Structures are given as structure tokens and as C-alpha cells.
């Protein structure tokens, strides 16, 4: 008998903040895998802020999601049946076939998880895309030097919390923002030197400046908006802005104004650089080695916020934008 | 008898577009130069858009001009009396003592003009700061490759017109904007492949897109505002934005919005980098060699818009912002 898989489809394109009603659950039958294919049961799936962009119908580096079709995203699962010599039943694999309980795919589109001392879902977080985003973005674009001040916005998120810790490993003074006192306490426990609750601090620029008496050398931006403007004021000469995302503006119904003070980039000789994580593909080996060494040495910690069941994936995704998660937001599928 | 020098002083800080009444003329006596000093009569002075920023009272990479004091800026002049062995009467020197007819300064603050086949005022333009700005900004930050599409805004200005020509020398497809049909014709005569009159073209993005079917690899921004937003839409993956200035927003009375579509920097993997020209100091030798070779080979042309007399320097400066100049705006002082 065919295995059944529930999956989440885009019902309509969200306007502003996404709602669970923008999504719907469907069910498909999964037959036996054909030659070269494998049948996989997903264990975990990832929801990530960047997916918001794919819900808009516009040209981008990845094509937009289509109405009525299942969404995609990072997932880890276990091979149930394999019709390819490279995979055996029970193998743990990473794929881009998230938002569903199971799937059939060519073995070539599946990556066996490396044998590292970490639970499978870590390959959706610290050892996966968010980890690579933090590692590649900070080290290759930010180029932090020991003694530099690094400012990380959204520091209680999956990416931000890793940037904080990698910057500390590199000997930097780290200032950060987060959206609740609990998150602030957690980010401090990760080693950040000065952490601001941006919802209660009043003047964000003044609150941040206290932790950066010599200015900011590297700003890792996950937030945009007032955070980016404050950073542009605080940047030291020849600083680097790692433009990772702008969660504060992803849901704007009309385009939000860009940073009014962007000409600081001229006067202070700044570099602002964006990236998509695939840019760092050639850093995969040092990334996995460094990260697993650091995890082994107790230098990298992480948290997970977990929802159960594919039917709750839309709520998990929506919750990203209200700050309901600390660390990596995950959906447990089996 | 002491030589007299008229000089231009900042009377009050301009609000919005500067007016000639924001400046006043004063006269000082210049005695004989002391030991190690020289007395110089200026022949030419430069007015440049960046000077607008120095009229605002704020911390920056150069300190703001002070009310009641003479302005400063690039100038070339001739030594009248020297009290230092490094300089002789008649030597042509470059200095930062513009906005005045003459001055006394330590010889160490004066640079003898290199012996190149160009008139002295070229050292305020093609062979001076604007030339170095174009050369260093385009080549070091823009990193154009043959076949790339380079977009230059404000292409009839001192910097933009040189960027156009250097990009053509490097084998690029060049698209550009200018503010009148005459300027458009001139920029085309410099070799630009597609030039848009931004005042009459209607939809700027659509007009530019016609010249960039494969997108823009390098954008050299002198203008900001709608030009920068159009460029962000047109940029190709991994493009470079050379942020040289933003003449469209220098006179904004409240901070102008930044580019609403700046998140293209993330999705398209862009780098946007600002600079101050001193960054390129270590490129001075190749700059002077390349530029004089290119001038000799007829590959670099330039125009000058000239006002006579120090008393007309304020009007020359104001005219920069209404586009009255084609090529380098200069004031002839003697």
C-alpha cells in the first residue's frame, strides 16, 4: 500500500504579515521509488525568514512559490525504500523537500548527513543553512579582526545567535539586539558583551552606542529598518556591513524606505555586501570542521523552538515574524 | 607692500540648495613667507559637490567648514616667493588652499605639479581628484571586466565623464544618464553606448533597461535617489555598486529616503561600497601613468565649465547642483 504524505501548499500570496490561512494542507500518495530514486520520511523541517520572499511573485535568485503547489525548504529525513545503490533504508538524508511528511526523489538530490556528533535536526540549524549563513557571512564578508566591535541584530535567532558566538571565538567585542528580556539574557549567556532589548530600550542608537565606544567595525544585519540606520551612524571608518536579511521589512505592504543615512557608506568608506548562502558552498569543509570542533569544545551552543506536525508548519513560519522563536524554529514531522 | 588676497568665507550654513548669499568675500594681507614657507598666487580653484557636506555641522571624515572662515578646496597656483629650498619662484603647485586668490603655506603642504603634457587646471580635473575618483572607484571597487555593462549616473560631470571613458577603454558596454540633450550628445561622443536624458525620459528604469539587456554589472553612482533605485532593479547577480556620491540628495532639508529596494543587495549577491578618494593614494603612480598615456592616445577627453574671479566661486558652486556644468567646474583666479 502506498505511503501517504501530508504537505503544505500555498493557498494565496500573503499580504503583509502571513497568516496560517494563507496555507492549506493537502495529501498525496507516495508509490514505490523508481530506478535511481528513494522514498524518504521526513523527521524535521525548517522554516526560515527568507521563505517570505519566495511567496511574492517576482523574479529572484530562486523562483517564487506557486499557488496550489507544495512549498519547499530544508528538511532531514530517513530513507524508507531505496532504488539506488548510493542509499540504504535507514540512511539519514538532508534535502530541500520540506513542508511535507515524505517524498520520492532522485538519490542525486539527497545528501547523506555527515557522521558528526549532533542530532539530525542540527543539520537544519547550526550545521546547516543557518550555520553556513552565519559562518560565511561573518568570516568572508565581515572579515572580523580580534578587537573589532561586531554588531549583530536579531541575535536570538538561528543565524544571529551563531554570529554572536563565532565573533566571540574570533576575539571581538560583540553588541547585539534581541526582542525580549529572556532573549537578551540568553544572548548574553552566549558571550555577547552588550545586548539591547530593542522593544524597550527607547533610543536604539544611544543604547547601542554604549557598547561601541570606538564604533562598529562589522554589522551583521538580519533586521533592516531602524537597526540598519543605527548601524550606519555607529560604523567606524572602513567598516563592513554584512547584509543577511531584513526581517523588519519583509512584510511591508508598500516598500519600506531604505536607510535615510546610507551616504555614510561614502563618507566612512564602508562596504555593504549581500549574499545568498550558496555563495559559500566552497567553504563547506572548513565550516563543518570548525563548527563540529567548536561544538565539541563547548564554544557553540544553540536552542530550538519546536512545533509538532506538518499541519503546524504554517503557524511556525508566521511565528518567525512575531519573534516567537528563540534560536532555530523547527517543525518535528516524525 | 603686502600682497592682498580676496577669499570666500562661509557666511551661514546653507539650508537646502545653497545660495550665493550663504557666502561672503573677505580680504586678507599676505606678508612675506616665513622660513619653510612659500607665498602662492592661485591660478585656478575647484568647486566640487562633496563640499556641500562640509557645510553641514556634523562629524565626518573631514571636519566641517566654520562660519566666518575661508573655505578650502583644491587649487593650483604659482609660487610668488619661496622661503624654502624645495620651491622656486614660478613653480606650479597644487594645494588644498582654494577659495582664495593667494596664500602662504608650509612648502610641505604644497605639491609641485608633475611635468605632464596637460594644462595646470587639468590637475584639478582629469589628472586630479576627480580623475583619481573615477579611476580608483571604477577600477578598484567596480572591478569591471571586458563585456560587463557599466552604468554611470551624472555622466556629464567631471567624475562621470571619466568613468564612461575608462569603462570603454576596459571594453565595457556603458549606459549613462545626463540632464540635457546637449549633455547626452557629449556623453555619447565620449563613447557611451546608451545615454538617457533623465529629465525627459519618463520611466527611468525602462529607459535604462533598453541599454542593459543582460543587467548591470557595475553601477557608478554620483546621483542617488531614483537613479540608485533603478540601478538596484537592473543589477545582475554579483554586481558591484560604486557609491561615489548622491548629488540628488545633498541638499535635502530632511533626510531623503534611502533606496526602498536595497534588499536586492541580498538577493542578487551585490556589493555596495563607498570611498573617500584618499583611499586610492597608493594608486597615484599608475593613475598618472595610465591617464597621461590615455590622454596622449586621444582616448580621454574632457570639458571645462569656467567662471572668472574668486567673487564668482559661490555661484560656480551653486551651479553644480542645478547641472549648469558640463565636465569640470572651475574658477579661474588669475
Enumerate the CATH 3.40.50.720 domain ranges in chain A, comma separated: 129-278
CB environment A55-89: b (16+ within 10 A), e (fewer): beeeebeeeebeeeebbbbbbbbbbbbbebeebee
**pLDDT digits 0-9 by tens, A178-236:** 999 999 999 999 999 999 999 999 999 999 999 999 999 999 999 999 999 999 999 99
Please tell me which residue of chain A has the smallest CA distance to B275. A269
With the C-alpha atoms ordered A150, A153, A157, A158, is the resulting torsion angle positive or negative?
negative
Local mean pLDDT, 10-residue blocks, chain A (334 residues): 90 95 97 96 96 87 90 97 97 97 97 92 96 98 98 97 98 97 98 98 98 98 96 97 92 87 94 95 96 95 96 97 93 97
The three-class DSSP label of residue A121 is helix
Enumerate the CATH 3.90.180.10 domain ranges in chain A, comma separated: 3-125+303-332
**CB nearest B258 (choices: A60, A258, A270):** A258
Give the separation between CA B288 and CA B117, rounded to whole angstroms.
11
**Residue B26 clears pLDDT 70, i.e. is over it:** yes
Among B136, B180, B149, residue whose Cα is nearest residue B322: B180
* Alpha carbon separation from A301 to A94, A121, A125, A327, A330 (Å, rounded): 22, 14, 11, 10, 16
Which residue of B274, B278, B280, B281 to mutate against A (max A Cβ within 10 Å)? B274
Kindly report the CA angle at B23 between B17 and B25, in degrees rounded to 5? 155
Determine contact: A197 vs chain B, CB below 8 A: no
> What pLDDT is recorded for position B223?
95
Size of interface A-B (CB pairs under 8 A): 102
Are residues B279 and A269, on separate chains, in Cβ contact within 8 Å? Answer: yes
Are residues B266 and A243, on separate chains, in Cβ contact within 8 Å? Answer: yes
> What pLDDT is recorded for position B1?
56
> What pLDDT is recorded for position B2?
72
**CB nearest B260 (choices: A237, A255, A268):** A255
In sequence order, the β-bridge partners of residue A305 are A329
The CATH code for residues B129-279 is: 3.40.50.720
Determine contact: B130 vs chain A, CB below 8 A: no
Give the separation between CA A82 and CA A120, rounded to whole angstroms.
20
CATH class of B3-124+303-332: alpha beta
Are residues A260 and B255, on separate chains, in Cβ contact within 8 Å? Answer: yes
Are residues A262 and B257, on separate chains, in Cβ contact within 8 Å? Answer: no
Determine contact: B96 vs chain A, CB below 8 A: no
Enumerate the CATH 3.40.50.720 domain ranges in chain B, comma separated: 129-279
**Residue B253 clears pLDDT 90, i.e. is over it:** no
**Residues of A whose CB is below 8 A from B266:** 243-246, 274-276
Give the separation between CA B43 and CA A95, rounded to whole angstroms.
70
What is the DSSP-derived secondary structure letter of residue A64?
P
Kindly report the CA angle at A41 between A35 and A46, in degrees rounded to 5? 120
Please tell me which residue of chain A has the smallest CA distance to B240. A273
Do the beta carbons of residue A113 and residue A93 sit within 8 Å? yes
Do the beta carbons of residue B221 and residue B241 sit within 8 Å? yes
Give the separation between CA A92 and CA A120, rounded to whole angstroms.
8
Describe the strand order of the beta sheet including B149-152 as a list of residue ranges.
Answer: A194-197, A173-178, A149-152, A216-221, A235-243, A271-274, B271-274, B235-243, B216-221, B149-152, B173-178, B194-197
Measure A103 CA to nearest chain B CA, in Å: 28
Determine contact: A249 vs chain B, CB below 8 A: yes
Do the beta carbons of residue B159 and residue B222 sit within 8 Å? yes
**Residue B257 clears pLDDT 90, i.e. is over it:** no
**Residues of B whose CB is below 8 A from A243:** 262-263, 265-266
**CB nearest B257 (choices: A244, A258, A267):** A258
The three-class DSSP label of residue B3 is strand
Q: What are phi and psi of A149, to 5 degrees?
A: -95, 125
**Residue B205 clears pLDDT 90, i.e. is over it:** yes
Please tell me which residue of chain A has the smallest CA distance to B268. A61
For residue B232, what are the contacts with CB-CB under 8 A and spacing of at least 6?
B241, B259, B261, B262, B264, B265, B270
> What pLDDT is recorded for position B9?
98
Write out residues 214-233 of A within 8 Å (CB-CB) of B.
224
**CB nearest B257 (choices: A61, A257, A265):** A257
**pLDDT digits 0-9 by tens, B114-142:** 988 899 999 999 999 999 999 999 999 99
What is the DSSP-derived secondary structure letter of residue B276?
-
The pTM for the full model equals 0.93
**CB nearest A267 (choices: B61, B260, B269):** B61
Do the beta carbons of residue A234 and residue A151 sit within 8 Å? yes
ipTM of the prediction = 0.91
B253: exposed, middle or buried (Cβ count in 10 Å: 0-12, 13-18, 19+): exposed
Write out residues 267-296 of B within 8 Å (CB-CB) of A.
267-276, 279
Enumerate the CATH 3.90.180.10 domain ranges in chain B, comma separated: 3-124+303-332
Are residues B258 and A260, on separate chains, in Cβ contact within 8 Å? Answer: yes
Are residues B270 and A271, on separate chains, in Cβ contact within 8 Å? Answer: no
**Residue for grid cell 532522485:** A106
CATH 3.90.180.10 fits A3-125+303-332, yes or no: yes
In sequence order, the β-bridge partners of residue B243 are B221, B274
Measure B294 CA to nearest chain A CA, in Å: 28
Residue A273 grid coordinates: 555586501
Centroid of chain to Cα B64: 18
Average pLDDT, chain B: 95
Q: What are phi and psi of A3, to 5 degrees?
A: -75, 140
Do the beta carbons of residue B142 and residue B162 sit within 8 Å? no
Which residue of B258, B264, B269 to mutate against A (max A Cβ within 10 Å)? B258
Do the beta carbons of residue A194 and residue A149 sit within 8 Å? no
**pLDDT digits 0-9 by tens, B46-67:** 999 999 999 998 877 778 999 9
* Alpha carbon separation from B115 to B92, B289, B300 (Å, rounded): 10, 12, 18
Band (pLDDT 50/70/90 cuts) for residue B185 is: very high
Measure B261 CA to nearest chain A CA, in Å: 7
Are residues B262 and A265, on separate chains, in Cβ contact within 8 Å? Answer: no
Q: Which fold has domain A129-278?
A: Rossmann fold (3.40.50)
The three-class DSSP label of residue A235 is strand
Are residues B269 and A274, on separate chains, in Cβ contact within 8 Å? Answer: yes
Amino acid at each position: 500500500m502506498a505511503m501517504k504524505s501530508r504537505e503544505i501548499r500555498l493557498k494565496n500570496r500573503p499580504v503583509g504579515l502571513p497568516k496560517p490561512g494563507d496555507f492549506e494542507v493537502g495529501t498525496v500518495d507516495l508509490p514505490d521509488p523508481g530506478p535511481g530514486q528513494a522514498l524518504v520520511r521526513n523527521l524535521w523541517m525548517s522554516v526560515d525568514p527568507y521563505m517570505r520572499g519566495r511567496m511574492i511573485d517576482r523574479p529572484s535568485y530562486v523562483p517564487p512559490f506557486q499557488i496550489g503547489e507544495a512549498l519547499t525548504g530544508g528538511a532531514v529525513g530517513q530513507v524508507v525504500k531505496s532504488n539506488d545503490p548510493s542509499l540504504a533504508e535507514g540512511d539519514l538524508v538532508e534535502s530541500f523537500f520540506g513542508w511535507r511528511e515524505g517524498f520520492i526523489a532522485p538519490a542525486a538530490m539527497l545528501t547523506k548527513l555527515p557522521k558528526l556528533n549532533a542530532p539530525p535536526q542540527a543539520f537544519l540549524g547550526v550545521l546547516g543553512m543557518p550555520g553556513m549563513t552565519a559562518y560565511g557571512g561573518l568570516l568572508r564578508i565581515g572579515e572580523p579582526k580580534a578587537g573589532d566591535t561586531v554588531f549583530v541584530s536579531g541575535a536570538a535567532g538561528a543565524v544571529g545567535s551563531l554570529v554572536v558566538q563565532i565573533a566571540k571565538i574570533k576575539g571581538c567585542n560583540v553588541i547585539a539586539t534581541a526582542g525580549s528580556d529572556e532573549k537578551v539574557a540568553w544572548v548574553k549567556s552566549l558571550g555577547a558583551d552588550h545586548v539591547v532589548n530593542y522593544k524597550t530600550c527607547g533610543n536604539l542608537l544611544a543604547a547601542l552606542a554604549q557598547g561601541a565606544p570606538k564604533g562598529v567595525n562589522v554589522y551583521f544585519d538580519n533586521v533592516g529598518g531602524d537597526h540598519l540606520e543605527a548601524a550606519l551612524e555607529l560604523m567606524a571608518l572602513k567598516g563592513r556591513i554584512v547584509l543577511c536579511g531584513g526581517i523588519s521589512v519583509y512584510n511591508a505592504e508598500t516598500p519600506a524606505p531604505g536607510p535615510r543615512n546610507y551616504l555614510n557608506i561614502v563618507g566612512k568608506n564602508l562596504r555593504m555586501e549581500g549574499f545568498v548562502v550558496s555563495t559559500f558552498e566552497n567553504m563547506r569543509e572548513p565550516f563543518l570542521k570548525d563548527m563540529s570542533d567548536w561544538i565539541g569544545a563547548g564554544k557553540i551552543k544553540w536552542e530550538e523552538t519546536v512545533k509538532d506536525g506538518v499541519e503546524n508548519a504554517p503557524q511556525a513560519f508566521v511565528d518567525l515574524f512575531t519573534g516567537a522563536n528563540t534560536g532555530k524554529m523547527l517543525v518535528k514531522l516524525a
